[in-house]
C-alpha cells in the first residue's frame, strides 16, 4: 500500500505536466489563425487533451488497480511462504542440533516413567583366581567362593539380571546383578564355567585396551556373549579418570562413544551402560554419558534404590577376595 501512495502522486504530477505542455504548444502553433478558428481549435485541443487526460487517468486507475491486486496477491504469497517457511526452519534447527551431538550410534531412547522404588543389589567384581595371584590380590575372588555365591543366589529364589532388564524390574522376583569390571582372561577361564554350570547371567564392563593387556581375546568375548550368559557393556577405551579429561570433548567422545561402538561391533549387541573407571564422574561426564548410554555405574557402596538414585549413579556392592559368604548374604539383603 505504501508503494501505491508513493507512486500515484508521481503519475498525477506527470499528467499535469503533459496537460500544461500540450495546452501551451497548441496555443503557440495556432497563433496566426483567425480568432474564431483559433478559439475553436483551442477548444478542440483542450477537448482532445481532456479526453486524453481522462483516458490516461482511466488507464492509470486500471494499472493502479491491477498493481494493487498484484501487491495483494504478492503479499498473500509472501504470507503463505512465511507460514510454510516457519516449520521448515524449525526442522533445520532440530537437524543442526542433532548433528552437533556426537552421533556415534543410534540415539538412546528416553526411559519409561519411574517404576516403584526397589533396593537392588548390584555386585561389583573384577577377576578371579584360586591360588594367591600376587599383585592386587583383593581383585581376585576365588572361583570356589564365586560358585558358593552364585549357588546361594539361585537356591534362594533370586533372579540374575542384566541392565537390559532394568525397566522391567518391578515384574522380576528378587532381582540381583553381578558385574565384573575391566575385562580379564580369567573372566573366561575361571568365571564362565561357573556361569555355564548354573545358567547364571552376569555383566562385564569391558575396557577395550585391557583386551590386549590381559590376553582377553575377541574370540573369548564373542563366545561368552553368544552364550547369552554374559552381557558386555562399556568401561571406556583406556580406563581414564573421566572427570580429569571431561574438558576434552574429543577424548570424551573417544572414551564414551568409540568404546560403545567397538563393543557393539564385537558382540553384535547394543551397549547401553557405562561403568565409570575408578568410579570417577562429574556433571559433565554424566551429561556426555547420557548421549550414548541409559545407565552409569559408580563404585558408591550400597544397594541401589531405583526411586531415590539416578540411573547414572547406580550404586554397587564391592566384592573382594576377603569377602565372606556371610558378608555377601548381608549385602544381598538377607
Ligand atoms: Zn575399572
Digit-coded pLDDT (tens) for 128-138: 999 877 778 99
Residue with cell 542433532: 98
**Same-domain status, 182 and 255:** yes
- In this prediction, what percent of the chain has a pLDDT beyond 70? 65
Residue 84, C-alpha cell as written in the block: 510454510
The closest of 179, 168, 180 to 118, measured between CA atoms, is 168
Q: Measure 22 CA to ligand 1 centroid, in angstroms.
A: 101
Q: Tell me the pLDDT tens digit for each residue of 90-103.
A: 333 333 333 344 44
**Same-domain status, 303 and 256:** yes
Q: Measure 63 CA to ligand 1 centroid, in angstroms.
A: 82
**Same-domain status, 140 and 96:** no
**Same-domain status, 24 and 56:** yes
Q: Measure 308 CA to ligand 1 centroid, in angstroms.
A: 25
Domain boundary pick from 67, 100, 133: 100
Q: Measure 241 CA to ligand 1 centroid, in angstroms.
A: 10
Return the pLDDT at 12.
Answer: 41
**Same-domain status, 160 and 280:** yes
Q: Measure 1 CA to ligand 1 centroid, in angstroms.
A: 73
Q: Measure 276 CA to ligand 1 centroid, in angstroms.
A: 7
Q: Measure 316 CA to ligand 1 centroid, in angstroms.
A: 13
Return the pLDDT at 117.
Answer: 72
Residue 216, C-alpha cell as written in the block: 582377553
Residue 61 phi, psi dihedral angles, 5° rounding: -60, -45
**Number of compact structural domains in the chain:** 2
Domain boundary pick from 100, 132, 153: 100
> Can you tell me the distance from the alpha carbon of 124 to that of 135, in angstroms, rounded to the nearest whole number?
19
Report whether 66 contacts 28 (CB < 8 A).
no
Q: Is residue 105 part of a domain?
A: no
Domain boundary pick from 100, 131, 149: 100
**Same-domain status, 191 and 328:** yes
Q: Tell me the pLDDT tens digit for each residue of 218-263.
A: 999 999 999 999 999 999 999 999 999 999 999 999 999 999 999 9
Q: Measure 239 CA to ligand 1 centroid, in angstroms.
A: 6
Q: Measure 89 CA to ligand 1 centroid, in angstroms.
A: 45
pLDDT > 90? residue 29 = no
> Can you tell me the distance from the alpha carbon of 264 to that of 268, in angstroms, rounded to the nearest whole number?
5
Return the pLDDT at 77.
Answer: 42
**Same-domain status, 92 and 157:** no
> Can you tell me the distance from the alpha carbon of 272 to that of 105, in angstroms, rounded to the nearest whole number?
11
**Same-domain status, 127 and 249:** yes
Q: Measure 181 CA to ligand 1 centroid, in angstroms.
A: 5
Q: Where in the sequence is the domain holding 56, given as residue range(s)?
A: 2-100
Return the pLDDT at 133.
Answer: 74
Instruction: Report if pTM > 0.95.
Output: no
Q: Measure 23 CA to ligand 1 centroid, in angstroms.
A: 103
**Same-domain status, 168 and 307:** yes
Q: Measure 4 CA to ligand 1 centroid, in angstroms.
A: 77
Residue 93 phi, psi dihedral angles, 5° rounding: -60, -40
Amino acid at each position: 500500500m505504501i508503494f501505491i501512495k508513493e507512486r500515484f502522486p508521481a503519475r498525477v504530477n506527470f499528467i499535469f505536466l503533459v496537460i500544461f505542455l500540450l495546452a501551451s504548444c497548441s496555443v503557440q502553433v495556432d497563433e496566426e489563425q483567425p480568432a474564431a478558428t483559433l478559439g475553436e481549435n483551442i477548444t478542440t485541443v483542450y477537448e482532445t487533451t481532456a479526453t486524453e487526460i481522462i483516458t490516461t487517468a482511466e488507464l492509470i486507475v486500471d494499472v493502479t488497480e491491477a498493481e494493487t491486486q498484484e501487491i495483494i496477491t504478492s503479499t498473500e504469497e509472501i504470507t503463505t511462504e512465511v507460514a510454510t517457511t516457519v516449520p521448515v526452519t524449525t526442522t533445520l534447527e532440530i537437524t543442526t542440533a542433532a548433528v552437533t551431538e556426537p552421533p556415534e550410534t543410534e540415539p538412546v531412547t528416553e526411559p519409561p516413567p519411574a517404576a516403584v522404588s526397589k533396593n537392588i543389589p548390584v555386585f561389583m567384581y573384577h577377576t578371579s583366581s584360586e591360588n594367591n595371584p600376587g599383585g592386587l590380590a583383593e581383585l581376585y575372588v576365588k572361583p570356589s567362593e564365586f560358585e558358593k555365591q552364585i549357588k546361594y543366589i539361585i537356591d534362594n529364589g533370586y533372579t540374575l539380571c542384566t541392565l537390559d532388564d532394568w525397566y522391567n524390574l518391578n515384574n522380576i522376583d528378587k532381582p540381583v546383578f553381578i558385574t565384573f569390571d575391566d575385562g580379564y582372561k580369567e573372566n573366561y577361564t575361571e568365571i564362565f564355567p561357573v556361569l555355564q554350570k548354573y545358567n547364571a547371567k552376569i555383566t562385564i564392563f569391558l575396557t577395550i585396551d585391557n583386551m590386549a593387556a590381559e590376553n582377553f581375546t575377541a574370540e573369548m568375548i564373542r563366545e561368552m556373549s553368544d552364550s547369552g550368559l554374559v552381557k558386555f557393556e562399556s568401561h571406556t577405551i583406556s580406563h581414564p579418570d573421566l572427570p580429569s579429561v571431561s574438558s576434552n570433548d574429543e577424548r570424551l567422545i573417544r572414551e564414551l562413544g568409540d568404546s560403545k561402538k567397538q563393543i557393539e561391533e564385537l558382540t553384535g549387541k547394543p551397549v547401553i551402560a557405562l561403568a565409570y573407571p575408578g568410579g570417577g564422574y562429574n556433571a559433565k561426564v554424566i551429561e556426555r554419558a547420557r548421549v550414548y548410554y541409559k545407565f552409569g555405574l559408580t563404585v558408591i557402596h550400597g544397594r541401589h534404590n531405583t526411586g531415590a538414585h539416578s540411573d547414572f549413579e547406580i550404586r554397587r556392592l564391592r566384592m573382594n577376595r576377603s569377602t565372606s559368604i556371610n558378608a555377601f548374604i548381608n549385602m544381598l539383603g538377607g
